[in-house]
């Protein structure tokens, strides 16, 4: 996932070889709601859920060490 100043771009690598790739461009202006779940003791990854008008829910998972609070601020600045 790449966050820009106008949208986020999600890359989904598909297939066993990883040669097939799906790029999805999601503009911040279409976000209706979002939630963030931080990493815990046993659950090592953090998650962000975004609800887009016309698309529905998108769930993003991040490895431990990603600044999920910073991403939360970034989305909040663009949406609210």
Residue range 29-79, pLDDT digits in tens:
999 999 998 877 776 789 999 999 988 999 998 888 888 889 999 999 988
DSSP structure string for 43-75? ---EEEEEEETTTEEEEEEE-TTS-HHHHHHHH
Question: For residue 25, what pLDDT is reported?
Answer: 93
- What pTM, to 2 d.p., does this model score? 0.80
Question: For residue 8, what pLDDT is reported?
Answer: 93
d(CA 44, CA 62): 9
Question: For residue 18, what pLDDT is reported?
Answer: 82
- For 2-79, CATH number? 2.30.29
63, 45 contact by CB (below 8 A): yes
């Amino acid at each position: 996932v790449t966050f820009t100043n106008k949208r986020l771009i999600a890359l989904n690598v598909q297939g066993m070889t990883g040669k097939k790739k799906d790029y999805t461009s999601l503009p911040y202006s279409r976000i209706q709601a979002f939630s963030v779940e931080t990493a815990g003791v046993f659950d090592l990854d953090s998650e962000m859920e975004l609800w887009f008008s016309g698309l529905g829910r998108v769930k993003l998972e991040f490895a431990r060490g990603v600044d999920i609070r910073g991403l939360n601020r970034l989305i909040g600045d663009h949406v609210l």
